[in-house]
Structure 1
Amino acid sequence: MIPNRALLRMRKGEATIGAWLGLGSPYAAALMARLGFDWLVVDVEHSPFGYDAMVQSVMAILPTGTAPLVRVPWNDPAWIKRALDTGALGIVVPMVMNGEEARRAAEAARFPPHGIRSVGAWLGPRLHGEDYLQAIDAEILVVVQIEHIQAVERAEEICTAEGVDVIFIGPNDLASSMGLRGTDFRENPDWEKAVQTVLRAAQWAGRPAGIMCMSVEEALQRRAQGFQFLAVASDVRYIEGMAQEVLRRWQA
């Protein structure tokens, strides 16, 4: 069984760094995986990823030691099953609103007796080894997203839901739910208060907290606050940012 390096580091109390994959490209996934991120999220919720490209991306990431995770479109057992059958080492579940929804996500990600995942995976054992069915439940990383102000109000019950490993703040949807869409919400004290509420709830429950950051400076600041699962932008942003810098210097 290929171990989940990111999960191991967080269990030791360490912070991890990752990024989102939104181009829908297995080639981009292969390039990003070889850079040394702890984990990468194949984003099937808000990207052009089709199922074949998702499978190919997971397969490209696995041999590098970076943990491939899949963000599913919704908290749906069928999607969670299909995502994990690729050999992925975890899932990211969007818009989790309460403890029961968090528990259901974790249950869908694991085989009986710990969950309800159907035993039909053939790719996992061939990618990870013949002990896959016995070992995978301990390696799966279940990340649930708090990204609505009503979920912030239920943060403690979400953070204590059985089987959940990481609580991840979706900053944009959280801001939108607070009427801050289209503003510089990271500077808004009410938004920051909501972020800190989730962080405190996760720490109280003994669960790592995560958040999407737009720069390494922001990630370093969040790490100092106690966040352990830090996403820094995406393959889309990296390409765009480098291209913008080239053109800025060319046109100066």
Structure 2
Amino acid sequence: MPAPRNPFKHAIAEGQLQFGCWLGLADPYVAEISAGAGFDWLLVDGEHAPNDLRSIVGQLQVIATRDTHAVVRPPIGEAWMIKQLLDAGAQSLLIPMVESADQARALVEAVSYPPHGVRGVGAALARASDFSGIPDYLTTARDEICLLVQVENRKGLAALDDILEVDGLDGVFIGPSDLAADLGHIGQPEAPEVRRKVIDALAKIAAAGKAAGVLTLDPGFQRDCRAAGASYIATDIDVLLFARSMHDAAAEARKRFS
């Protein structure tokens, strides 16, 4: 029996649009609600949210019960951290701040077992292998792992052509917020220069045969990104949805009794 099929990996490889939502509240209860909301994928964020390995596992478990796919972003692309996340059952990873082809190649090695890579062989202990319930996991796991790298500064954009030539890389995700800061527009991902560079990068990624992705909350820019070739687009963030709803609810209550 092989490793479970990764529907997200195959969908974006075929250019099928996958809508996603960022999860930063770091709670399985919230993840379970989100998993039933109708998104194609959910990003469990370990870079800018207070997640650790155990909280990520809890979210992977509840998301797995619904018809959506979990993508995990670690705080950094270290091989030991990637190994833990893969063993915990993550099949799709988004690695932040990738700036070179050498870095991308090292990440491909980190998600691959020897002799093709450096992933430690400990599947007998792992949720990923259903605790040894998947006998062919070691020989089939790599086929279903989706490796996405995040290019989000000028250095990464300058190396994009080289990054796109790396075998074993499923896609490249453009991060407008960090790119905006690096371009001198901190807090302004909607700045025209930022948007031009995002669109140009997405088109280049798609033309190279890799899956292009982006996070933007602007509906108009989401459509522009899709037109440029993006196949996985995060359209909202749970933290902002919750904060906005809570503020609106409090304001409406106060107005109701004023």
TM-score by length of 1: 0.91
Q: Distance in 2 between matches of 1:25 and 1:127?
A: 24
Query: Which SS does the other structure have where 1:64 is aligned?
Result: coil
Q: Distance in 2 between matches of 1:34 and 1:113?
A: 39
Q: Distance in 2 between matches of 1:215 and 1:190?
A: 16
Q: 1:156 aligned to 2:175? A: no
Confirm or deny: 8 A CA contact 1:169 1:210 kept in the other structure: yes
Q: 1:248 deviation in Å?
A: 4.9
Q: Distance in 1 between matches of 2:69 and 2:140?
A: 16
**Residue equivalent to 1:195:** 198
Amino acid at match of 1:17: F
Q: 1:215 deviation in Å?
A: 4.2
Q: 1:231 aligned to 2:222? A: no
Confirm or deny: 8 A CA contact 1:149 1:194 kept in the other structure: no
Structure 2 counterparts to residues 60-79 of structure 1, below 5 A: 60-79=62-81
Gaps of 5+ in 1: none
**Residue equivalent to 2:210:** 207
**Residue equivalent to 2:249:** 246
Deviations 1:50-97 (A, max 9, x none): 221111111111232422221011121011111111101111111000
Q: Distance in 2 between matches of 1:123 and 1:11?
A: 26
- CA radius of gyration, larger in: 2
Structure 2 counterparts to residues 58-137 of structure 1, below 5 A: 58-121=60-123, 122-126=126-130, 129-130=133-134, 131-137=136-142
Cα gap change, 1:51 to 1:185, in 2 (>3 Å): closer
Question: What is the aligned-residue RMSD (CA, Å)?
Answer: 1.9
Confirm or deny: 8 A CA contact 1:149 1:177 kept in the other structure: yes
Amino acid at match of 2:162: E
Gaps of 5+ in 2: none
**Residue equivalent to 1:185:** 189
Structure 1, 213-222 or 103-112: larger mean CA deviation: 213-222
Query: Which SS does the other structure have where 2:236 is aligned?
Result: strand
Query: Which SS does the other structure have where 1:60 is aligned?
Result: helix
TM-score by length of 2: 0.89
Structure 1, 24-33 or 59-68: larger mean CA deviation: 59-68
Aligned-pair identity (%): 33
